[in-house]
Structure 1
Amino acid sequence: MQGSRVHPADVRRQVGAALSTCATPVPETRIQDAQLVATELVTNALLHAGGLDEFQLDVSERHIHLTAVDSSTELPTRQRSLASFDAAVSGGFGWPLICHLAEDTEIRLSGAGKAISVRLPL
């Protein structure tokens, strides 16, 4: 998917559709985790980077790989920890949540921005 017109709901549907076609059934909790991480990646690009340039997903036998590309070179930060969750406070939990659910994260900087990739177990 390309462009800042991508809506988080579109990405959630794309992830769900991709995982529903796997040869081995994927547990619902893993689908939900992947959809949540995809939503956070897209939302973070929209809120903090001025938009999403590209979103990629690749499903292998044991993992789903998600990549969000944006035009900002600003790196995500851990403003809060999941342990300090307070429902009255808005924001700051997306990146810690992504890091908690992902087996691996990678940030690649380029002159045009960054690509954030995550690998999640199925």
Structure 2
Amino acid sequence: MNDTKVTNTVATLRAMGDSSADVCRARELARVFAESLGPSPATDVMDTLVLVVSELVTNALRHGGGRYTLELSADEDAMRVAVSDPNPAHPREVTPDLNGGSGGFGWHMVRHLTDEVTITPGPRPGKTITAHIARAAGPSMD
């Protein structure tokens, strides 16, 4: 079940999933969430939000125990993506696989596309990764 609450420019949305089909659904929810904000973020900021949601949800499914809880929230300054999973292990930096298709790009992208990323223990025994994205403009890739 998804709950969306909007009060002026403050909004929250919560969703849960446990299959790879949910990654597409999470991306769609992120886009609809961003479009519901007033004012809507610029297209590039919205695309960043969708990509960060996709990567964090994919990582939770692949490395975090096979299920996740996604919470999106926003205020007038920033959007926050919080993804919880049952695995307490933090993401690892790995060298991206340019030839074999085994991944390694997601965590790098999340860290470079967001303004701040925090990892907190819980809910037990897992962790929650929270990424902050400014609504006005994202960080420079330089």
* Shorter-normalised TM range: 0.7 to 0.9
Q: Which amino acid aligns with 2:115?
A: E
Provide the rounded CA distance (Å) in 2 between the counterparts of 1:104 and 1:43: 19
2:3 corresponds to which residue? none
* Native 8 Å contact 1:11 1:38 kept in 2: yes
Q: Which amino acid aligns with 1:109?
A: P
Gaps of 5+ in 1: none
Bigger mean CA offset, 65-74 vs 104-113: 104-113
TM-score norm. by structure 2 comes to 0.76
Partner of residue 27 from structure 2, selected from 12, 26, 30: 12
SS of residue matched to 2:16? coil
Gaps of 5+ in 2: 1-14, 136-142
TM-score norm. by structure 1 comes to 0.87
* Native 8 Å contact 1:18 1:59 kept in 2: no
Asked whether 1:42 is paired with 2:42, we answer no
Q: Which amino acid aligns with 2:85?
A: D
Partner of residue 85 from structure 2, selected from 41, 55, 70: 70
Structure 2 CA distance for partners of 1:113 and 1:20, relative to 1, 3 Å? same
Provide the rounded CA distance (Å) in 2 between the counterparts of 1:79 and 1:87: 12
Q: Which amino acid aligns with 2:18?
A: S
Provide the rounded CA distance (Å) in 2 between the counterparts of 1:26 and 1:2: 24
Alignment of 1:96-111 (within 5 A): 96-110=108-122, 111=124
Provide the rounded CA distance (Å) in 1 between the counterparts of 2:36 and 2:112: 26
Instruction: State percent identity of aligned pairs.
Output: 25
* Native 8 Å contact 1:78 1:93 kept in 2: no
* Native 8 Å contact 1:4 1:46 kept in 2: yes
Q: Point out the structure with the larger strand share.
A: 2
Instruction: Give every structure 1 segment of 4 or more consecutive aligned residues whose post-TM-superposition deviation is greater than 3 Å.
Output: none
Paired residues in the alignment total 118
Provide the rounded CA distance (Å) in 1 between the counterparts of 2:40 and 2:80: 17
